[in-house]
Chains A and B, each alone.
Chain A
C-alpha cells in the first residue's frame, strides 16, 4: 500500500514535469515565440503568424516527440522484461532496422502508398526483424544469453540496413528513404499522428494491463508457469505490443536507438522494478527525454536542425557502456 502511494506521488510529479517540458519545447525554436503565444495557440482561437507556426508545426511535432518517446520507452521496458536482458532495445534487437527495410521496400514498390500503408509495412518489418534476431540468437543450445542476442541484433540490423540502402539506391529513392529514416520529427503532421496515436495508445494500454504478468515473467519463466500464468499467450500478446510500438515509432521518426534502452533503466532507479510502476513511468520519462532531445535539436544550432537521433545517440552510448560495465547491474 505504502509503495503504491509513493508511486502515485512520483507519477504526478512526472506528469507535471512532462507538462512543463512540453511548454518549454513549444516556446523554444527557430521562430521567436513567447509563452503568451503558446498559451494562445493551445487554449484560444486567436490567429497570427507565431500562433500558426506553433499550431501547425511545433505542436504536432512535440506531440510526435511525446508519442515516440513513450512508445520506444515502453517497448524497451517490455523487451527487457521478457528477455531478462538489460540491453534489450527495439533499436538493438532488429525491430527498428526491420521496419526501416520494410519502409524502403514499400516506398520502392508502392510509391503511392498512404501513411497507414507505410505504418503497417513498418509493423510487418519490425516483426520480421525481431523474429530474425531471436531465432539466430537462440539457435544454439542454451540460447538467449544477453550478449548473443545483442550480437545477433547487430548482425541482423546491419543486414537489414544494407537492404534498405540497397533498395534506396537501386530504385533511386535514397533521398525519400533517408527523409524517413534519418530519425527526426521534422514535418510531423496531424495526419500522421491521427494514424499513429491510436496504435501507440492501444499498445501502451495493453502493456499496462499486462504489467503484472510481465513482472512475474521477468522473474523467471518457471516461476511464472508455477503461478498459473499462460506464459505462451502472455508473451505472444506482449510481442505484438512491442511490434506496434516500435513499428509506430519508426513510421513516425525512422531510426531511433537507445531510447528504449535508457528510459527503463532510469525509471527503475526512480520507481523500482515492478512493471506495474515501470510501464506508466516509462511513458512519462520517455516522452520527457524525447522532448528534451528534440528541443536541443532545434535550438543548439539555430536556424539549422541537429538530428535528434544524433543527440539521443550521444546521450545513449555512454549509458550503454555503463550498463555493460555494471554487468546489467543497473538492471536491479
Chain B
C-alpha cells in the first residue's frame, strides 16, 4: 500500500533544477533510505516532500491529496520532519523541547492536556531520554541530543517520520543506537520512516527500500539487494565497489571500493 508518492516532481529555480521529473513511491510502514552523492538532491527531495521548500512542477500526494494544498497543521499530524542537525535547542530543557512536538494538536495558548503529557512521557521513554527531562538540551552529548530531537518528532504522533542524515556527527556506537531506535519504531509502532543516509552499509542494513539518486534523478529504487550492487554504485558514486554479504545480517555490504579512473 502506498499513501505517499511524488509524480513528475521538479524542484529548483528556472533552468537550474535540483530534482528533475522524479516519480517515486514511499512504501507504507517500511524504512526507506535515500542515498546518493553530495548535491544529488537528497535533502532537497526530503524538504520538498515535507513542504519545507516549494517545488516547481509535478506533485506530491499524501492520502490522495496534494501536500501543498493540505492545511499545514493537519499535515504536521501526519508527517514529522527532523532536519539536518538542528544546531541548537536555544536553551530549552529536554522536556520543553519534546513538548513542542505537540504543537500541531494545540490551539491558542497551548496548555498541555493529559493526553499531551502522556504522549510526551511515552516519547521520552521510548527514546531513552526520560532521565534528562529537566536538563538543557544543549548540555547533552551529540547522540543524546539527536534522540531528544527524535523524541520531539515522535511526540508529533505521525505515521510518517522524515529524517535528514540523523547520524551525522555521531560516533559509530551512537549512529547505531539512533538507527536501532528508528528500526524499533518501525517494527513495533508501524511508523513509516524515510531518511537520508550517507553510509551505504547502514542504508543496506536498516532499509527495506532504497532510493539511489544522482543529479536529481532516480538511478535505482528497490530493495537493498537490488540497489546495493556494483553497477548501481558505479553509476551513482563513480566507484568500483566490492559487494559482499554482512556475515551477521546477511544484507549486502560494500566491503571495499576504489574510485573509477579515466572515464
Binding site for B on A (CB under 8 A): 3, 84, 209, 212, 215-216, 218-220, 222-223, 225-230, 268, 272-274, 331-332
Q: For residue B50, which residues in chain A have a CB less than 8 angstroms away from its CB?
A: 225-226
Contact A218 B104 (CB under 8 A): no
Q: For residue A230, which residues in chain B have a CB less than 8 angstroms away from its CB?
A: 72
Give min CB distance, B104 to chain A, whole Å.
4
Q: For residue A227, which residues in chain B have a CB less than 8 angstroms away from its CB?
A: 76, 100-101, 103-104, 156
Q: For residue A223, which residues in chain B have a CB less than 8 angstroms away from its CB?
A: 81, 83, 86
**Most chain B CB neighbours (cut-off 10 Å) among A209, A225, A226:** A226
**Most chain A CB neighbours (cut-off 10 Å) among B75, B82, B83, B106:** B83
Q: For residue A331, which residues in chain B have a CB less than 8 angstroms away from its CB?
A: 90-91
Q: For residue A273, which residues in chain B have a CB less than 8 angstroms away from its CB?
A: 90-92
Contact A226 B109 (CB under 8 A): no
Q: Any chain A CB within 8 A of the CB of B88?
A: yes
Q: For residue B90, which residues in chain A have a CB less than 8 angstroms away from its CB?
A: 84, 215, 218-219, 273, 331-332
Q: Which residue of B lies closest to A225 (CB)?
A: B52
Task: Map CB proximity to A onto B74-94 as digits: 1 under 8 Å, 0 otherwise.
Answer: 111100111100111111110
Q: Which residue of B lies closest to A224 (CB)?
A: B103
Q: How large is the interface on B (under 10, 10 to 19, 20 to 34, 35 or more residues)?
A: 35 or more
Whether A229 touches B72, Cβ cut-off 8 Å, given contacts A215-B90, A216-B103, is: yes
Give min CB distance, A236 to chain B, whole Å.
15
9 interchain residue pairs of minimum CB distance: A228-B76, A273-B91, A228-B73, A226-B81, A222-B83, A228-B104, A227-B103, A332-B91, A220-B86
Contact partner, A332, options B74, B82, B88, Cβ 8 Å: B88
Q: For residue B109, which residues in chain A have a CB less than 8 angstroms away from its CB?
A: 209, 212
A229 to B110, CA, bound (A): 13
Q: Any chain A CB within 8 A of the CB of B177?
A: no
Contact A332 B83 (CB under 8 A): no
A218 to B87, CA, bound (A): 11
Give min CB distance, B149 to chain A, whole Å.
8
- Give the contacts of B45-82 with A (CB-CB under 8 A): 47, 50-52, 72-77, 80-82
Q: What are 8 A-B residue pairs whose CB atoms fall within 8 Å in the complex?
A: A215-B92, A219-B97, A222-B52, A226-B80, A227-B76, A227-B156, A331-B90, A332-B90
Give min CB distance, A164 to chain B, whole Å.
36
Starting from the known contacts A212-B103, A223-B83, 4 additional A-B residue pairs (CB-CB under 8 Å) come to A216-B103, A222-B81, A226-B81, A228-B73
Whether A212 touches B72, Cβ cut-off 8 Å, given contacts A220-B83, A220-B87, A226-B81, is: no
Whether A274 touches B96, Cβ cut-off 8 Å, given contacts A226-B52, A229-B103, is: yes
Contact A268 B91 (CB under 8 A): yes
A183 to B73, CA, bound (A): 44
Binding site for A on B (CB under 8 A): 47, 50-52, 72-77, 80-83, 86-93, 96-97, 100-101, 103-104, 106, 109-110, 136, 138, 153, 156
Q: Which residue of A lies closest to B91 (CB)?
A: A273
Secondary structure of the A side of the interface? helix
The A/B interface has a contact count, at CB < 8 Å, of 78
Contact A228 B72 (CB under 8 A): yes
Give min CB distance, A232 to chain B, whole Å.
10
Q: Which residue of B lies closest to A233 (CB)?
A: B72
Contact partner, A225, options B72, B87, B100, Cβ 8 Å: B72
Give min CB distance, A87 to chain B, whole Å.
15
Q: Which residue of B lies closest to A212 (CB)?
A: B110
Give min CB distance, B253 to chain A, whole Å.
32
Give min CB distance, A144 to chain B, whole Å.
13
Q: For residue B89, which residues in chain A have a CB less than 8 angstroms away from its CB?
A: 219
Q: For residue B75, which residues in chain A have a CB less than 8 angstroms away from its CB?
A: 228
Give min CB distance, B79 to chain A, whole Å.
8
Contact partner, B83, options A84, A226, A268, A272, Cβ 8 Å: A226
Contact A226 B138 (CB under 8 A): no
Q: For residue B110, which residues in chain A have a CB less than 8 angstroms away from its CB?
A: 212
Give min CB distance, B67 to chain A, whole Å.
12
A254 to B89, CA, bound (A): 35
Whether A274 touches B92, Cβ cut-off 8 Å, given contacts A223-B83, A225-B51, A226-B52, is: yes
Q: For residue B72, which residues in chain A have a CB less than 8 angstroms away from its CB?
A: 225, 228-230
**Most chain B CB neighbours (cut-off 10 Å) among A212, A223, A332:** A223
Q: For residue B82, which residues in chain A have a CB less than 8 angstroms away from its CB?
A: 226
**Most chain A CB neighbours (cut-off 10 Å) among B87, B90, B104:** B90
**Most chain A CB neighbours (cut-off 10 Å) among B86, B100, B104:** B100
Q: For residue A272, which residues in chain B have a CB less than 8 angstroms away from its CB?
A: 91-93
Q: For residue B92, which residues in chain A have a CB less than 8 angstroms away from its CB?
A: 215, 219, 272-274
Give min CB distance, A247 to chain B, whole Å.
27
Q: For residue B87, which residues in chain A have a CB less than 8 angstroms away from its CB?
A: 220
A228 to B155, CA, bound (A): 13
A219 to B97, CA, bound (A): 9
